[in-house]
Chains A and B, each alone.
Chain A
Amino acid sequence: AQSVTQLGSHVSVSEGALVLLRCNYSSSVPPYLFWYVQYPNQGLQLLLKYTTGATLVKGINGFEAEFKKSETSFHLTKPSAHMSDAAEYFCAVSRSGGSYIPTFGRGTSLIVHP
């Protein structure tokens, strides 16, 4: 079984401030982890993913996430928020092999204030 918890349905930051979106997962096997972003009236777009290897992964638009096995976390960060980062962010967990269906968190809405 696998599950994803995203802490905070809404996160509000000022432009230029650090962005931190939290994601904790549970998985009975080594996970594949993803962050997706959804802009208004659009589908989801992959930001970054962790499969194996380096635990700090960099994605598009200056975002990065670190896989911490001991904490079962995969938090998303960006050093300096931009107004264009305002969107819904989803964390997802899957696993290698077979036909395992990804499990998504409920999403975190990022609000960026000028």
Chain B
Amino acid sequence: GAGVSQSPSNKVTEKGKDVELRCDPISGHTALYWYRQSLGQGLEFLIYFQGNSAPDKSGLPSDRFSAERTGGSVSTLTIQRTQQEDSAVYLCASSLGGSGRGSKTQYFGPGTRLLVL
């Protein structure tokens, strides 16, 4: 498909377990973002990848959260030792990157709904 895809669409896990969330960005998009959206809240920035540069991890809430992007394409967000407060929708977005007028438009995936019991 041409859009951003995320998997799984839903994930239920037990407190203390690790989870991995996957994002496939649009082909050719060099920028990739992860956000967290809790019920009734806006989008909380987590991490940003741009090309081969070091990722901006300034939004990660704790060291239990990490993300990687392999080959400049697919990204995986990992949450270790999940807590109930990690329950949220995790959204991935990609954009062209760079500095042009179209570079900042983000294309979002449908999200992964994580429930930690």
A: residues with CB less than 8 A from B are 9, 32, 34, 36, 41-46, 49, 51-52, 90, 94, 96-107
Check A44–B105 contact: CB distance below 8 A: no
Please name all residues of chain A whose beta carbon is closer than 8 Å to the beta carbon of B4 when the two chains form the complex: 43
Select A99's contact among B41, B48, B93, B106, beta carbons within 8 Å. B48
Instruction: Give the residues from 72 to 117 in chain B that come closer than 8 angstroms, CB to CB, to chain A.
Output: 91, 93, 97, 99, 101, 104-111
Which A-chain residue is minimally distant from B97 (CB atoms)?
Answer: A99
Please name all residues of chain A whose beta carbon is closer than 8 Å to the beta carbon of B18 when the two chains form the complex: none
Total count of chain B residues near the partner, CB < 8 A? 26
Check A51–B48 contact: CB distance below 8 A: no
Report how far A81 CA is from B40 CA in the complex, Å. Answer: 23
B: residues with CB less than 8 A from A are 4, 31, 33, 35, 40-43, 45, 48, 50, 53, 56, 91, 93, 97, 99, 101, 104-111
Which A-chain residue is minimally distant from B33 (CB atoms)?
Answer: A101
Report how far A90 CA is from B37 CA in the complex, Å. Answer: 12
Closest beta carbon of chain B to A79's beta carbon, Å: 25
Report how far A102 CA is from B50 CA in the complex, Å. Answer: 13
Check A43–B110 contact: CB distance below 8 A: yes
Closest beta carbon of chain A to B70's beta carbon, Å: 20
Check A104–B42 contact: CB distance below 8 A: yes
